[in-house]
A = this chain, B = another copy of it.
Amino acid sequence: MIITDNLLSSLLETRAHTEEICSPLQIEDYVVQPIVDVSPPKWHLGHTTWFFEEFILTRYNPSYKRFHEDFAFVFNSYYESIGKRVVRTNRGNLSRPTVNEVYEYRDYVTNHLQVLLESREDEELRSLVEIGIHHEKQHQELLLTDIKFILGNNPLLPKYSSTFDENPNNNSSDRYHLVPEGVYEIGYKGEDFCYDNELGVHKVFLEEYKIAHNLVTNKEYLDFINDKGYEDSLLWHAEAWDWLNTEKIKTPLYWHKINGEYHQYTLQGLQQLDLNAPVTHLSYYEAFAYAQWKGERLPTEFEWEVANKSFDWGLRWEWTESAYLPYPNYAKAPGALGEYNGKFMVNQKVLRGGSIATPKNHTRPTYRNFFHPQLRWQFNGLRLVKSK
Protein backbone atom coordinates (compact mmCIF):
# COMPACT_ATOMS: atom_id res chain seq x y z
CA MET A 1 0.00 0.00 0.00
CA ILE A 2 2.91 2.30 0.62
CA ILE A 3 3.76 2.11 -3.03
CA THR A 4 0.28 3.11 -4.07
CA ASP A 5 0.29 5.88 -1.54
CA ASN A 6 3.47 7.25 -3.02
CA LEU A 7 2.13 6.94 -6.49
CA LEU A 8 -1.09 8.61 -5.51
CA SER A 9 0.63 11.47 -3.75
CA SER A 10 2.99 11.84 -6.67
CA LEU A 11 -0.03 11.99 -8.96
CA LEU A 12 -1.80 14.57 -6.84
CA GLU A 13 1.31 16.69 -6.48
CA THR A 14 1.86 16.61 -10.22
CA ARG A 15 -1.73 17.54 -10.97
CA ALA A 16 -1.56 20.41 -8.49
CA HIS A 17 1.79 21.65 -9.77
CA THR A 18 0.47 21.94 -13.32
CA GLU A 19 -2.26 24.24 -12.09
CA GLU A 20 0.18 26.21 -9.99
CA ILE A 21 2.20 26.99 -13.11
CA CYS A 22 -0.93 28.56 -14.54
CA SER A 23 -1.85 30.56 -11.48
CA PRO A 24 -0.35 33.88 -12.72
CA LEU A 25 -2.33 33.70 -15.97
CA GLN A 26 -5.29 35.73 -17.07
CA ILE A 27 -8.12 33.72 -18.64
CA GLU A 28 -7.17 35.13 -22.05
CA ASP A 29 -3.63 33.76 -21.78
CA TYR A 30 -5.00 30.21 -21.69
CA VAL A 31 -6.52 30.44 -25.15
CA VAL A 32 -4.03 31.58 -27.79
CA GLN A 33 -1.60 29.66 -30.03
CA PRO A 34 0.71 32.22 -31.66
CA ILE A 35 2.70 29.57 -33.58
CA VAL A 36 1.92 25.96 -34.31
CA ASP A 37 4.50 24.65 -31.85
CA VAL A 38 3.05 26.62 -28.94
CA SER A 39 -0.19 25.17 -27.60
CA PRO A 40 -2.76 27.14 -25.60
CA PRO A 41 -2.28 26.53 -21.86
CA LYS A 42 -5.83 25.26 -21.53
CA TRP A 43 -5.05 22.67 -24.14
CA HIS A 44 -2.15 21.39 -22.05
CA LEU A 45 -4.46 21.27 -19.01
CA GLY A 46 -7.02 19.29 -20.96
CA HIS A 47 -4.65 17.07 -22.88
CA THR A 48 -2.79 15.78 -19.81
CA THR A 49 -6.18 15.02 -18.30
CA TRP A 50 -7.46 13.28 -21.41
CA PHE A 51 -4.34 11.11 -21.36
CA PHE A 52 -5.38 9.66 -17.98
CA GLU A 53 -9.00 9.35 -19.06
CA GLU A 54 -8.20 7.65 -22.34
CA PHE A 55 -5.44 5.27 -21.30
CA ILE A 56 -6.55 4.49 -17.74
CA LEU A 57 -10.08 5.40 -16.67
CA THR A 58 -11.91 4.11 -19.72
CA ARG A 59 -9.89 0.91 -19.54
CA TYR A 60 -9.77 0.11 -15.84
CA ASN A 61 -13.10 1.43 -14.64
CA PRO A 62 -15.92 -0.29 -16.52
CA SER A 63 -18.55 2.09 -15.18
CA TYR A 64 -16.55 5.22 -15.95
CA LYS A 65 -18.53 7.87 -17.78
CA ARG A 66 -16.45 10.34 -19.77
CA PHE A 67 -16.73 13.93 -18.55
CA HIS A 68 -17.71 15.04 -22.06
CA GLU A 69 -18.02 12.94 -25.20
CA ASP A 70 -16.30 15.52 -27.44
CA PHE A 71 -13.24 16.11 -25.28
CA ALA A 72 -11.35 13.15 -26.76
CA PHE A 73 -11.64 14.93 -30.10
CA VAL A 74 -10.53 18.25 -28.63
CA PHE A 75 -7.64 17.03 -26.47
CA ASN A 76 -6.02 14.14 -28.36
CA SER A 77 -2.58 15.35 -29.46
CA TYR A 78 -1.19 12.94 -32.01
CA TYR A 79 -2.43 9.43 -31.33
CA GLU A 80 -3.57 8.33 -34.79
CA SER A 81 -4.73 4.98 -33.51
CA ILE A 82 -7.12 6.57 -30.98
CA GLY A 83 -9.25 8.40 -33.52
CA LYS A 84 -9.86 11.79 -35.06
CA ARG A 85 -8.69 14.98 -33.42
CA VAL A 86 -8.58 18.76 -33.77
CA VAL A 87 -5.70 19.46 -36.13
CA ARG A 88 -2.76 20.94 -34.31
CA THR A 89 -2.90 24.28 -36.09
CA ASN A 90 -6.48 24.81 -34.88
CA ARG A 91 -5.94 24.53 -31.14
CA GLY A 92 -5.89 28.30 -30.81
CA ASN A 93 -9.21 28.67 -32.63
CA LEU A 94 -11.23 27.03 -29.87
CA SER A 95 -12.76 29.27 -27.24
CA ARG A 96 -14.70 26.37 -25.75
CA PRO A 97 -14.49 24.42 -23.54
CA THR A 98 -13.83 27.36 -21.22
CA VAL A 99 -10.97 27.44 -18.77
CA ASN A 100 -13.39 26.77 -15.95
CA GLU A 101 -14.77 23.73 -17.71
CA VAL A 102 -11.26 22.44 -18.26
CA TYR A 103 -10.52 22.81 -14.56
CA GLU A 104 -13.73 20.94 -13.76
CA TYR A 105 -12.62 18.26 -16.17
CA ARG A 106 -9.30 18.05 -14.36
CA ASP A 107 -10.98 17.67 -10.97
CA TYR A 108 -13.37 15.06 -12.29
CA VAL A 109 -10.58 12.92 -13.74
CA THR A 110 -8.24 13.38 -10.79
CA ASN A 111 -11.00 12.32 -8.41
CA HIS A 112 -11.80 9.25 -10.44
CA LEU A 113 -8.12 8.36 -10.60
CA GLN A 114 -7.85 8.68 -6.84
CA VAL A 115 -10.81 6.37 -6.28
CA LEU A 116 -9.40 3.88 -8.76
CA LEU A 117 -5.95 3.86 -7.23
CA GLU A 118 -7.34 3.47 -3.71
CA SER A 119 -9.45 0.53 -4.75
CA ARG A 120 -7.11 -1.45 -6.85
CA GLU A 121 -3.61 -2.89 -6.79
CA ASP A 122 -2.30 -3.68 -10.24
CA GLU A 123 1.16 -3.49 -11.73
CA GLU A 124 0.03 -2.56 -15.21
CA LEU A 125 -2.25 0.16 -13.89
CA ARG A 126 0.55 1.46 -11.69
CA SER A 127 2.85 1.58 -14.68
CA LEU A 128 0.32 3.50 -16.76
CA VAL A 129 -0.26 6.03 -14.00
CA GLU A 130 3.48 6.50 -13.79
CA ILE A 131 3.65 7.20 -17.51
CA GLY A 132 0.75 9.63 -17.12
CA ILE A 133 2.60 11.47 -14.35
CA HIS A 134 5.77 11.75 -16.41
CA HIS A 135 3.76 12.76 -19.43
CA GLU A 136 2.20 15.57 -17.42
CA LYS A 137 5.61 16.66 -16.13
CA GLN A 138 6.82 16.93 -19.73
CA HIS A 139 3.85 19.16 -20.43
CA GLN A 140 4.67 21.28 -17.37
CA GLU A 141 7.86 22.33 -19.08
CA LEU A 142 6.08 22.96 -22.37
CA LEU A 143 3.43 24.91 -20.49
CA LEU A 144 6.02 27.25 -19.06
CA THR A 145 7.86 27.76 -22.34
CA ASP A 146 4.57 28.21 -24.21
CA ILE A 147 3.45 30.80 -21.68
CA LYS A 148 6.76 32.58 -22.12
CA PHE A 149 6.20 32.63 -25.86
CA ILE A 150 2.62 33.89 -25.55
CA LEU A 151 3.61 36.73 -23.24
CA GLY A 152 6.99 37.40 -24.77
CA ASN A 153 5.50 37.91 -28.24
CA ASN A 154 2.73 40.17 -27.04
CA PRO A 155 3.47 43.84 -27.82
CA LEU A 156 2.77 44.71 -24.17
CA LEU A 157 5.48 42.26 -22.94
CA PRO A 158 3.68 41.39 -19.68
CA LYS A 159 5.72 39.65 -17.01
CA TYR A 160 4.81 36.17 -15.83
CA SER A 161 6.30 36.22 -12.33
CA SER A 162 8.42 38.40 -10.09
CA THR A 163 10.31 35.49 -8.64
CA PHE A 164 11.07 33.03 -11.41
CA ASP A 165 14.77 33.54 -12.01
CA GLU A 166 15.99 32.16 -15.32
CA ASN A 167 19.63 32.65 -14.38
CA PRO A 168 20.01 31.50 -10.78
CA ASN A 169 23.75 30.97 -10.74
CA ASN A 170 26.39 32.14 -13.11
CA ASN A 171 29.62 30.40 -12.44
CA SER A 172 32.01 30.90 -15.26
CA SER A 173 35.14 28.98 -16.07
CA ASP A 174 36.99 27.90 -19.12
CA ARG A 175 37.84 24.45 -17.85
CA TYR A 176 37.48 21.35 -20.04
CA HIS A 177 37.26 17.77 -18.82
CA LEU A 178 39.17 15.11 -20.66
CA VAL A 179 37.46 11.79 -21.32
CA PRO A 180 39.76 9.00 -22.53
CA GLU A 181 38.93 6.81 -25.49
CA GLY A 182 37.16 3.55 -24.73
CA VAL A 183 34.00 1.49 -24.89
CA TYR A 184 31.25 2.96 -22.70
CA GLU A 185 27.79 1.87 -21.75
CA ILE A 186 24.83 4.02 -22.78
CA GLY A 187 21.20 3.92 -21.68
CA TYR A 188 19.13 3.64 -18.56
CA LYS A 189 19.97 0.82 -16.16
CA GLY A 190 18.08 1.78 -12.97
CA GLU A 191 14.86 0.51 -11.44
CA ASP A 192 12.87 3.69 -11.61
CA PHE A 193 10.87 5.14 -14.41
CA CYS A 194 12.42 5.92 -17.74
CA TYR A 195 11.10 6.32 -21.28
CA ASP A 196 11.34 3.56 -23.84
CA ASN A 197 13.78 5.64 -25.89
CA GLU A 198 16.41 5.41 -23.10
CA LEU A 199 16.31 1.61 -23.05
CA GLY A 200 18.38 -0.88 -24.93
CA VAL A 201 21.50 -0.41 -22.82
CA HIS A 202 24.35 -0.78 -25.24
CA LYS A 203 28.01 -0.05 -25.76
CA VAL A 204 29.56 2.71 -27.83
CA PHE A 205 33.17 3.36 -28.65
CA LEU A 206 34.29 6.92 -28.02
CA GLU A 207 37.53 8.57 -29.02
CA GLU A 208 39.23 10.84 -26.54
CA TYR A 209 37.57 14.25 -26.15
CA LYS A 210 37.49 17.29 -23.91
CA ILE A 211 34.16 18.69 -22.82
CA ALA A 212 33.59 22.15 -21.35
CA HIS A 213 32.71 22.47 -17.70
CA ASN A 214 30.39 25.40 -18.38
CA LEU A 215 27.75 26.33 -20.86
CA VAL A 216 28.45 29.04 -23.41
CA THR A 217 27.45 32.43 -21.98
CA ASN A 218 25.62 35.41 -23.42
CA LYS A 219 28.90 37.28 -23.37
CA GLU A 220 30.63 34.65 -25.46
CA TYR A 221 27.72 34.44 -27.86
CA LEU A 222 27.72 38.22 -28.23
CA ASP A 223 31.30 37.97 -29.51
CA PHE A 224 30.02 35.69 -32.25
CA ILE A 225 27.30 38.18 -33.16
CA ASN A 226 29.71 41.09 -33.12
CA ASP A 227 32.10 39.14 -35.32
CA LYS A 228 29.27 38.94 -37.88
CA GLY A 229 28.72 35.25 -37.31
CA TYR A 230 25.16 35.56 -38.59
CA GLU A 231 26.45 36.87 -41.91
CA ASP A 232 29.09 34.25 -42.75
CA SER A 233 27.47 31.49 -44.81
CA LEU A 234 30.43 29.16 -44.33
CA LEU A 235 29.55 28.70 -40.66
CA TRP A 236 26.03 27.45 -41.36
CA HIS A 237 24.30 24.40 -42.72
CA ALA A 238 22.64 25.01 -46.09
CA GLU A 239 19.16 24.65 -44.60
CA ALA A 240 20.16 26.89 -41.71
CA TRP A 241 21.28 29.60 -44.09
CA ASP A 242 17.95 29.55 -45.92
CA TRP A 243 16.07 29.59 -42.62
CA LEU A 244 18.17 32.50 -41.34
CA ASN A 245 17.49 34.60 -44.39
CA THR A 246 13.81 33.77 -44.70
CA GLU A 247 13.11 34.42 -41.02
CA LYS A 248 15.54 37.34 -40.79
CA ILE A 249 17.24 35.85 -37.72
CA LYS A 250 20.01 37.99 -36.25
CA THR A 251 20.03 37.06 -32.56
CA PRO A 252 18.62 34.37 -30.26
CA LEU A 253 14.89 34.51 -29.61
CA TYR A 254 13.61 37.16 -27.17
CA TRP A 255 16.56 39.51 -27.65
CA HIS A 256 15.67 43.18 -28.18
CA LYS A 257 18.18 45.88 -29.01
CA ILE A 258 17.01 49.04 -27.28
CA ASN A 259 19.08 52.18 -27.67
CA GLY A 260 22.06 50.09 -28.68
CA GLU A 261 21.87 47.78 -25.66
CA TYR A 262 20.72 44.16 -25.84
CA HIS A 263 17.82 43.20 -23.61
CA GLN A 264 16.14 39.87 -23.16
CA TYR A 265 12.53 39.10 -22.41
CA THR A 266 12.40 36.75 -19.43
CA LEU A 267 9.60 35.36 -17.30
CA GLN A 268 10.28 38.35 -15.06
CA GLY A 269 9.75 40.72 -17.97
CA LEU A 270 12.21 42.63 -20.10
CA GLN A 271 15.69 42.78 -18.59
CA GLN A 272 19.12 43.89 -19.63
CA LEU A 273 21.06 40.98 -21.05
CA ASP A 274 22.83 39.10 -18.25
CA LEU A 275 26.26 38.61 -19.81
CA ASN A 276 27.33 35.85 -17.46
CA ALA A 277 24.19 33.79 -17.87
CA PRO A 278 24.23 30.84 -20.24
CA VAL A 279 22.92 31.83 -23.64
CA THR A 280 19.49 30.40 -24.36
CA HIS A 281 16.63 30.22 -26.88
CA LEU A 282 18.95 29.12 -29.66
CA SER A 283 18.21 26.77 -32.51
CA TYR A 284 20.52 23.84 -33.18
CA TYR A 285 21.60 25.74 -36.26
CA GLU A 286 22.85 28.64 -34.17
CA ALA A 287 24.52 26.36 -31.65
CA PHE A 288 26.32 24.57 -34.47
CA ALA A 289 27.38 27.80 -36.18
CA TYR A 290 28.72 29.16 -32.91
CA ALA A 291 30.81 26.03 -32.38
CA GLN A 292 32.12 26.24 -35.97
CA TRP A 293 33.09 29.83 -35.46
CA LYS A 294 34.86 28.86 -32.25
CA GLY A 295 36.71 26.01 -34.00
CA GLU A 296 35.16 23.48 -31.65
CA ARG A 297 32.04 21.34 -31.89
CA LEU A 298 28.93 20.11 -30.10
CA PRO A 299 29.14 16.84 -28.15
CA THR A 300 27.32 13.76 -29.35
CA GLU A 301 24.64 12.58 -26.96
CA PHE A 302 26.94 9.70 -26.01
CA GLU A 303 29.82 12.01 -25.15
CA TRP A 304 27.44 14.06 -23.05
CA GLU A 305 26.06 11.05 -21.22
CA VAL A 306 29.48 9.61 -20.45
CA ALA A 307 30.86 12.94 -19.23
CA ASN A 308 27.82 14.17 -17.32
CA LYS A 309 29.26 13.52 -13.87
CA SER A 310 31.98 16.06 -14.49
CA PHE A 311 29.90 19.17 -14.94
CA ASP A 312 26.85 20.87 -13.54
CA TRP A 313 23.83 20.65 -15.74
CA GLY A 314 20.16 21.47 -15.61
CA LEU A 315 20.17 25.15 -16.55
CA ARG A 316 19.65 24.68 -20.27
CA TRP A 317 18.76 21.84 -22.57
CA GLU A 318 21.95 21.28 -24.50
CA TRP A 319 21.87 20.70 -28.24
CA THR A 320 23.97 17.70 -29.25
CA GLU A 321 25.26 16.74 -32.66
CA SER A 322 23.27 13.48 -32.48
CA ALA A 323 20.20 12.85 -34.53
CA TYR A 324 17.28 11.38 -32.63
CA LEU A 325 17.43 7.68 -33.58
CA PRO A 326 16.43 4.43 -31.93
CA TYR A 327 18.99 2.67 -29.78
CA PRO A 328 19.95 -0.84 -30.85
CA ASN A 329 17.20 -3.22 -29.72
CA TYR A 330 14.76 -0.36 -29.28
CA ALA A 331 11.22 -1.70 -29.22
CA LYS A 332 8.09 0.40 -29.39
CA ALA A 333 5.39 -0.34 -26.83
CA PRO A 334 2.42 -2.11 -28.41
CA GLY A 335 -0.75 -0.15 -29.23
CA ALA A 336 -1.32 3.59 -28.96
CA LEU A 337 1.37 4.17 -26.32
CA GLY A 338 3.86 2.95 -28.91
CA GLU A 339 3.20 6.31 -30.58
CA TYR A 340 4.73 8.11 -27.60
CA ASN A 341 8.32 8.38 -28.81
CA GLY A 342 9.22 6.11 -31.70
CA LYS A 343 7.35 7.84 -34.46
CA PHE A 344 9.35 11.04 -33.96
CA MET A 345 12.73 9.41 -34.60
CA VAL A 346 13.52 11.23 -37.84
CA ASN A 347 14.60 14.79 -38.67
CA GLN A 348 15.13 15.80 -35.03
CA LYS A 349 18.20 16.44 -32.89
CA VAL A 350 18.79 15.18 -29.37
CA LEU A 351 19.12 17.58 -26.46
CA ARG A 352 20.50 16.46 -23.14
CA GLY A 353 20.47 17.84 -19.64
CA GLY A 354 17.41 19.77 -18.53
CA SER A 355 16.53 23.39 -17.95
CA ILE A 356 15.34 25.76 -15.27
CA ALA A 357 11.87 25.00 -16.61
CA THR A 358 12.18 21.24 -16.14
CA PRO A 359 10.18 19.91 -13.18
CA LYS A 360 12.21 18.74 -10.22
CA ASN A 361 13.47 15.15 -10.58
CA HIS A 362 12.02 14.87 -14.04
CA THR A 363 15.23 14.57 -15.98
CA ARG A 364 18.10 12.08 -15.79
CA PRO A 365 21.58 11.67 -17.28
CA THR A 366 20.06 9.25 -19.79
CA TYR A 367 17.04 11.41 -20.64
CA ARG A 368 16.73 12.13 -24.37
CA ASN A 369 14.90 15.30 -25.28
CA PHE A 370 14.44 16.05 -28.99
CA PHE A 371 13.37 18.93 -31.21
CA HIS A 372 13.58 19.98 -34.82
CA PRO A 373 16.81 21.87 -35.44
CA GLN A 374 15.20 25.28 -36.06
CA LEU A 375 13.15 25.46 -32.86
CA ARG A 376 14.09 28.04 -30.27
CA TRP A 377 11.31 28.51 -27.76
CA GLN A 378 12.65 25.98 -25.23
CA PHE A 379 15.42 26.99 -22.82
CA ASN A 380 18.08 25.60 -25.13
CA GLY A 381 21.79 26.29 -24.84
CA LEU A 382 25.07 24.65 -25.72
CA ARG A 383 28.29 23.23 -24.34
CA LEU A 384 31.47 22.87 -26.42
CA VAL A 385 33.66 19.90 -27.09
CA LYS A 386 37.21 19.75 -28.43
CA SER A 387 38.63 16.70 -30.12
CA LYS A 388 42.22 16.05 -29.29
Contacts and interface: CB of A to CB of B under 8 A. Distances in A.
A122 interface: no
Interface stretch (A238-246, A255-263, A305-313): A238-246
B343 A236 contact: yes
A171 to B, nearest CB: 29
Contacts of A42: 28
A306 B143 CA distance: 45
A32 B70 contact: no
A158 interface: yes
A96 B156 contact: yes
Interface in A144-183: 150-151, 153-156, 158, 183
A329 to B, nearest CB: 5
A345 B347 CA distance: 11
Nearest to A26: B98
B183 A28 contact: no
Contacts of A80: 233-234, 241
A28 B93 CA distance: 10
Interface centre among A74, A240, A326, A347, by most B CB within 10 Å? A347
Contacts of A32: 31-32, 92-95
Interface of A: 26-34, 42, 70, 73-74, 78, 80-81, 86, 90, 92-99, 150-151, 153-156, 158, 183, 202-205, 207, 233-234, 236-241, 284-285, 288, 321-323, 325-326, 328-329, 338-339, 343-347, 349, 373, 387
